[in-house]
Amino acid sequence: MADLTTEFVGIRSPNPFWLASAPPTDKEYNVRRAFAAGWGGVVWKTLGLDPHCVNVNGPRYGAVWGADRRLLGMNNIELITDRPLEVNLREIKAVKRDWPDRAMVVSLMVPCDEQSWKGILPLVEETGADGVELNFGCPHGMSERGMGSAVGQVPEYIEMVTRWCKQATRMPVIVKLTPNVTDIRAPARAAKAGGADAVSLINTINSITSVNLDTMSPEPMIDGKGTHGGYCGPAVKPIALNMVAEIARDPETCGLPISGIGGVTTWRDAAEFLALGAGNVQCCTVVMTYGFKVVQEMITGLSNWMDDKGYASVADVSGRAVPNVTDWQYLNLNYVAKARIDPDACIGCGRCYAACEDTSHQAIAMKPGRIFEVIDEECVACNLCVNVCPVEGCIEMVPMAAGATDPRTGQVVSPDYANWTTHQNNPAARRAAE
């Protein structure tokens, strides 16, 4: 059976599923129940210096739902912990004492001065925690006070604070990055330059999820007013995957351990983060939706998939897909595929036809009896029909055989990726081939 045990920056845990720093990790009661349910580790909800913040006593979460009321994304305006620092530290120590085999990382956010950071680190170290996560990501509330994403958006600040912390603690230092930047590689490089042991990403995306059209206020609404918050949940996963991959394949940061965060809802999501370079994953919204025991399905699913694929450990999966992430100009333009519709699976709804006819390449014909056929001469294999079809597996893209002639262009199909990339990088060779 696959071994799900992970060792992330020297921190061992029985599986790669950690709870992210968020409401589910705010107190001892929650974390004990999470560990009992099977979570491999937690990042304790962000601690600060007392007196630090007061949270609103009203709605803290907004939401975006799918047609079936499934939660797709959530907006959070909650700040870091409003519980006393001494209470949090005492509870962290007690939980770590009773669950020594589970990862215990403590999230921190204090004012951007050296003394504040170096003052809180010994307090955390005394609890026996396994590491700290520097919260440079929160886009609301604390950022207006010069913390959170206000630090994470300035690479020089990231490097400076990370270096302060590495000088002041024996614990591994994980830097949590904000996605509210134009290029995630710059803050990741800064974290590495400051000596970070790892990065975690993504933190939440700055957002307003909805507006109440009766009161004309953003939601969640507090006494008639609303504010921007942090967006999380399944909807942010594509953004998170891309940013993880960018760091994993960047020559300046490749090899830097990554804790993947952002919309991890199933074992498959976790496997995708691992494949793109993450060493473990952190979850929040899925637990707030389904409860702590959801991790049991994740563990079983990941383990079964790894067994089926022959992966013996999480390390065997981590980074497997990174070599296949490339820039657009290196894609093989000699590769050609065509859509194929399974007539036995087709229910005749016509979605593929409408989408292709109205918004794509007019490559699907509707025959009498609502029979849909692909017009190869027009099909560019854009995949739109696959994406709008309500029947999984009904439409697929089938590669044309090497040496065949593309009926759309009249050109010979070649799958030779090596020659293609050579031609892309060598203009003379490319011209000769043409």
- Catalytic positions are 138
What pairing do the DSSP bridges indicate for beta strands 364-367 and 371-374?
Answer: antiparallel
**pTM attached to this predicted model:** 0.91
Give the closest residue to 24 by CA, choosing from 41, 11, 6, 48.
41
| Spans in the chain with pLDDT lower than 70 | 50-52, 58, 141, 148, 415-434
Q: What is the predicted pLDDT for the residue at 422?
A: 42
Q: What is the predicted pLDDT for the residue at 120?
A: 96
The domain 6-322 belongs to what CATH superfamily? Aldolase class I (3.20.20.70)
Q: For the purposes of burial, counting CB atoms within 10 Å of the CB of 401, is it exposed (0-12), middle (13-18) or buried (19 or more)?
A: exposed
Please tell me the distance from the alpha carbon of residue 34 to that of residue 296, in angstroms, as a whole number: 11
Residue range(s) in the chain whose domain bears CATH number 3.30.70.20: 328-433
Q: Please report, as a single letter, which amino acid is at residue 6.
A: T
Q: For the purposes of burial, counting CB atoms within 10 Å of the CB of 240, is it exposed (0-12), middle (13-18) or buried (19 or more)?
A: buried
Q: What is the predicted pLDDT for the residue at 421?
A: 42
Please tell me the distance from the alpha carbon of residue 113 to that of residue 93, in angstroms, as a whole number: 26
Q: What is the predicted pLDDT for the residue at 418?
A: 43
Token look-up 């007196």 returns 51
Please tell me the distance from the alpha carbon of residue 36 to that of residue 368, in angstroms, as a whole number: 60
* Topology of domain 328-433, CATH: Alpha-Beta Plaits (3.30.70)
- Distances, alpha carbon 156 to alpha carbons 150, 161, 194, in Å: 12, 9, 9
Tokens of 172: 């591994």
Q: What is the predicted pLDDT for the residue at 52?
A: 61
Q: Please report, as a single letter, which amino acid is at residue 197.
A: D
In the chain, count H helices and then E strands.
15, 20
Query: 364-368: long-range contacts (C-beta < 8 A, 24 or more apart)?
Result: 364/339
Cβ neighbours around 91 below 10 Å, total:
20
Q: What is the predicted pLDDT for the residue at 77?
A: 75
Q: What is the predicted pLDDT for the residue at 244?
A: 98
Residue range(s) in the chain whose domain bears CATH number 3.20.20.70: 6-322
Please tell me the distance from the alpha carbon of residue 398 to that of residue 269, in angstroms, as a whole number: 25
Confirm if 264 and 270 have CB atoms less than 8 A apart. yes
